[in-house]
Amino acid sequence: MTQRGLVIGEAVEVELPVARLATRAAAIAIDATIQIVMVFSLATLLSATTSRANAAVQDTLSVLLVVFVFVFWPIAFETFSRGRSPGKFALGLRVVRDDGGPIRFRHAVTRGLIGVAIEWPGLLLPPLTWIFGSTCMLFSARGKRLGDLAAGTIVLVERLPDLSRRPIFMPPELERWARDLDLAGVDDALAMTLRQFITRAPGMRAEARTSLERRLAAEVYRSTTPPPPPGTQPPAYLKAVVAERRRREAERLAARRALVALGAPGLPTGVPGQANSVSPQ
């Protein structure tokens, strides 16, 4: 199950995956570790500064300490960080509303209070409530915990892997055709747009992917000759153009380096700047 959350340069929404139980449990573990360290550190400081106070004062301050660490701190952190806790930040997660918008203070309060009561630390019948909350996330289509259900929120994985350097392979059925392709009309900007689309296409909504795919294929069709073989689908067509352009650039770079290595007259002794690396298109 996925949920919108990222818009690429062509104004096409890219779906972001919902955070599942294992990832969220890891984020909670990080948050819990920080909270436990905070409790022990502040408790030690409190004990040292109130050693002469009576038992009632110490008990009151201890309760306030627990409320601050387990209630106020996570609510404030999620509110001001727009849906992140330290654990979520470390794992690239973010809490958003069901409609994809940023959460408000009321959402953070609802999530925080329910979390303290029946999830973490779970003041009501732990660890039974932990099991119930985990089961809720496991069987929810959107991976929602009880706090998410009450607040109308969802947790997304917003830190997606960088696919820009993933190689794009030539479709075997188009390899021979691509050898005679005139790519003079495919400039760097268009080639980069094609590469970005191909690497991001798996995360796009089907309707947006198909629409942009057809638009790009039409633009490439106008910029290249000869036309692709009959029956060629846009995904294979675009991949063939990008792969062939990269192959030719690699061949030109290899030939230039070979000439430089042989000390060909008129060529610099070093390959400057951009010529040292193959263009990502």
pLDDT band at residue 264, thresholds of 50, 70 and 90?
low
Nearest to 29 by CA among 121, 113, 109, 110: 121
- What is the structure's pLDDT at 277? 42
Residues 6+ apart with CB under 8 A from 79: 103, 104, 105, 108
- What is the structure's pLDDT at 244? 92
The mean pLDDT of 55-68, rounded to a whole number, is 83
* Two structure tokens written together for 198: 């191909």
Query: Which is it for strands 93-97 and 13-17: parallel, antiparallel or unpaired?
Result: unpaired
pLDDT beyond 90 at 250 = no
pLDDT beyond 60 at 268 = no
pLDDT band at residue 143, thresholds of 50, 70 and 90?
confident
pLDDT digits (tens, 9 = 90+) for 204-230: 777 878 888 899 999 999 989 999 999
- What residue ranges in the chain does DSSP mark as E strands? 2-7, 13-17, 93-97, 153-157
